[in-house]
Structure 1
């Protein structure tokens, strides 16, 4: 699994675990909702700054996006 795929899977999993919709996450992170969906579908690769914004919005450590499947 490449890193983009890992980040996408973890983003979706973590967002769903927090019971947050893509739209809610986008609002919390102050990004476009379509962008969140594109990250989850691996259409875009998130920058480090974006991972930090998303992590803050989800109240998690950004390293969680890079963890291997457990």
Structure 2
């Protein structure tokens, strides 16, 4: 599965902001929690794919490991 790409810097910021808002709303309505977690994971994957060169078809846990080794 290839990395999900967002268009431009605003795409990444928009995804992260949307994930944060959904997490905030999940405190008031537990139905938002599943959607909030999925949006958060997608936002993290998008950010890591943009930061790590040759991310390609690397799974999310591989991207997180590479980022931690890079110090990002």
| Common topology (TM > 0.5) | no
TM-score by length of 1: 0.35
